[in-house]
Structure 1
Amino acid sequence: MTGLLAACQSEPKNGTPKKMKIIIDTDANNELDDQHALAYAFLNSDVFDVVGVTVNNTANGYGIQGQYDEALRIIRLFDLEDKIPLFMGADSNYVDILPHINDTLFDGQPAVDFIIREAMKMKDEKLVLVPVGKLTNIALAIAKEPSIVDKVRIIWLGSNYPNPGEYNLVNDVSSVNPVIESGAPFEIVTVRYGDSTATDAVRVTPAEVDEFLAGKGPVSPHTITGRHGGEFNSFGNYAKNLFEHAHMHGYPPSRALFDMVVLAVLKNPEWGTKHEIPAPKLINHAWEEQPENPHKIIYWDTFNRDAIVNDLFSLMEKTTPKQ
């Protein structure tokens, strides 16, 4: 274990690293990277204590129910339905939901209340919130119970920082500044489409999927019907199906595993480069630097693609049942 990783995980008296408590907040049905992020977290059960999964809705997910159903498929493929709770979160945006935050029922309430409840349990460690979609559920939780900012660490897959745009960001621009300005520890794992310096470069080809994922990984007693049809009882075979129905980009044709990179740098911070900066502000969809801002945030880039991808492949191989 690296010194950096050891510093991120507290050690109980017996010297064994304590597992990192995390909530993954996902638009699971958006494309295929969310599914790999969930799978990677579940495969790293010695590193992560996934206390729950929450979902939010973004443009390509076929509604909040579609997001929920896809997250449930991955949970079932790892036979974790009775161990990891799943909560439905925000369908619409922060600015629209905020006036109703004190209502008994509001858009996103199950997920928001779960995040607050779990954060308030923290004593000597922080609950790591891992939003890999829009920031709506996180912003709402902070708005409803501001005291959680001292109990959480937020690490978000989002933005092309320092450039404008990016899918997760534009799906709820109104949620970004409230999270940054809350004072909660906040980190951005950058996307930067078409740029070799960020998560867009952590790519996998269909040939690699065929060799290292298909037929690999634990076998579930549950059989799921995939988002594109077909029946599956292992994540490896489902991953192959997801790639078969996705558009490839670049040369060689491949697909980025954006969201999974967040979990990878939580596991091993040496797989990326982090930069501490005065917290910027999002204005008209573009970042405006605030060099005098005493509040700092972190952004991540320059990821070790081979280490991250090979770790996934190795974990899938190790958990494949012996013939």
Structure 2
Amino acid sequence: MKNILICISILIFTGCSQQNDTESNQQTTTSESELIPIIIDTDANNELDDQHAMAYLFFNNDLFNTIGVTVNATYSGGPIDQQVAEAERVMKLTDVMGQIPLLPGANGDFEEIRPNLNQPEYDGHAAVEFIIEEARKPRDQKLILLPVGKLTNIALALEKAPDIKENVRIVWLGSNYPEPGEYNQENDIPSLNYILNQDVPFEIVMVRYGEPSGSDAVRATPAEIEENMSGAGPEVDPVTGRHGGEFTNFGDYSVNLFSEIELHGDPPSRALFDMVAVAILKNPNWGEATEIPAPIVDGEDWEERPNNDRTITIWENFDKEAILDDFYSTMRSE
């Protein structure tokens, strides 16, 4: 009788243990499915904001599931191989290389590449096909496409696979709207106009050079970066930086990037434009969102289309202190 009772007890314990394991696995799966799926599309070697946006995204892995990094080439920073090389440096320094796919994208612009989309190896095909493949996968929420350079890769993906429009949400860092100009915009205006005319969720995180309402206002001085970033991030094997030297964490590389770049303003500082786009995805309260009828760019100037049923969202008036405090806190927690 005693042996029977022991056996029953073991069976009950084992059953409970298996049930707990199942519940634990279900909770883990649920947690992973709740992460925000995102692909960041970057001209990583352009200046220094892309690198900080990437690190901020990777280190918020309790909120974001970074599906991949796709790369494009803009006027500064060299051709696609140099842009990819800088993205790879950042991924090594943040200890995600090999865990997150890195795909080269377009060297050229939208109108140049568009007629060749049926060719097997058109310019940018690795990144564009990856975006399409990931956008077609079933998910509980829309895949966020976060272009922080020109919009070429994104526009090409929409052109080749119109069916992905309902599965994605595009959040672009660019534009001085309603004023003309801005680097990301000028690199491929036809790709911007193409997306403005598509029925796809499209949000613009404003740049607005010199204006307090844009991401240009979210700035850091070299002294602030040195104080907050020195030694920040996981320790990794030495990585040779863009300007030489070897680095074993992203924080020290951040300090080096700031020491090598031209500064503006009083005090002399540099904007962390692209990082702001990640920040408002993390906490929408750190910016103000407004829905407007989608305008168009005519030449270099914005043209309003007040009767346009197609609407987009613009983000402006960012909480600089909250964003930078969270950025530094995130970096130091790694």
What TM-score, normalized to structure 1? Answer: 0.93
The correspondence for 1:187, drawn from 199, 203, 210, is 203
Aligned to 1:136: 152
**Aligned residues: percent identity?**
53
**Inter-partner Cα distance in structure 2 for 1:172 and 1:118:** 24
Confirm whether residue 286 of structure 1 aligns to residue 286 of structure 2. no
Confirm whether residue 313 of structure 1 aligns to residue 324 of structure 2. no
When the two structures are aligned, how many residues end up with a matched partner? 308
After TM superposition, the structure 1 stretch with the greater mean CA deviation from structure 2, 254-263 or 115-124, is 115-124
**Inter-partner Cα distance in structure 1 for 2:100 and 2:131:** 14
Aligned to 2:61: 45
The correspondence for 1:238, drawn from 245, 253, 270, is 253
Aligned to 2:126: 110
The correspondence for 1:70, drawn from 58, 76, 86, is 86
- 1:156 counterpart SS class: strand
- 2:34 counterpart SS class: coil
Tell me how far 1:15 sits from its aligned partner.
Answer: 7.9
Amino acid at match of 1:254: S
Please show how residues 204-243 of structure 1 align to structure 2 within 5 Å: 204-220=220-236, 222-243=237-258
- 1:219 counterpart SS class: coil
- 1:253 counterpart SS class: coil
Tell me how far 1:123 sits from its aligned partner.
Answer: 3.8
Aligned to 1:97: 113
Confirm whether residue 256 of structure 1 aligns to residue 276 of structure 2. no
- 2:114 counterpart SS class: helix
Amino acid at match of 1:285: E
Structure whose alpha-carbon radius of gyration is higher: 2
Aligned to 1:29: 45
Aligned to 2:316: 301
Unaligned runs of 5+ in 2: 1-26
Aligned to 1:56: 72
Shift in alpha-carbon separation, 1:133–1:14, aligned structure 2, 3 A? closer
**Inter-partner Cα distance in structure 2 for 1:304 and 1:124:** 30
**Inter-partner Cα distance in structure 2 for 1:193 and 1:257:** 12
Aligned to 2:5: none
Amino acid at match of 2:54: L
Question: In the alignment, is the contact (CA less than 8 A) between 1:28 and 1:55 conserved in 2?
Answer: yes
Aligned to 2:22: none
Tell me how far 1:216 sits from its aligned partner.
Answer: 1.6
**Inter-partner Cα distance in structure 1 for 2:137 and 2:152:** 22
The correspondence for 1:149, drawn from 155, 165, 175, is 165
Confirm whether residue 119 of structure 1 aligns to residue 163 of structure 2. no
Amino acid at match of 1:87: L
Question: In the alignment, is the contact (CA less than 8 A) between 1:56 and 1:91 conserved in 2?
Answer: yes
**Inter-partner Cα distance in structure 2 for 1:40 and 1:15:** 20
**Inter-partner Cα distance in structure 2 for 1:37 and 1:129:** 14
Aligned to 1:201: 217
Please give the root-mean-square deviation of Cα atoms over the aligned residues, in Å.
Answer: 1.5
**Inter-partner Cα distance in structure 2 for 1:150 and 1:132:** 21
Amino acid at match of 1:183: D
Amino acid at match of 2:284: P
Question: In the alignment, is the contact (CA less than 8 A) between 1:272 and 1:300 conserved in 2?
Answer: yes
- 1:163 counterpart SS class: coil
The one-character-per-residue Cα deviations of 1:253-273 (angstroms, maximum 9, x if unpaired) are 110000000000000000000
The correspondence for 1:173, drawn from 180, 186, 189, is 189
Question: In the alignment, is the contact (CA less than 8 A) between 1:26 and 1:55 conserved in 2?
Answer: yes
**Inter-partner Cα distance in structure 1 for 2:325 and 2:281:** 16
The correspondence for 1:158, drawn from 174, 179, 197, is 174
Tell me how far 1:89 sits from its aligned partner.
Answer: 0.2
Question: In the alignment, is the contact (CA less than 8 A) between 2:110 and 2:155 conserved in 1?
Answer: yes
Shift in alpha-carbon separation, 1:17–1:101, aligned structure 2, 3 A? closer
Q: Runs (4+) of structure 1 moved beyond 3 Å?
A: 11-17
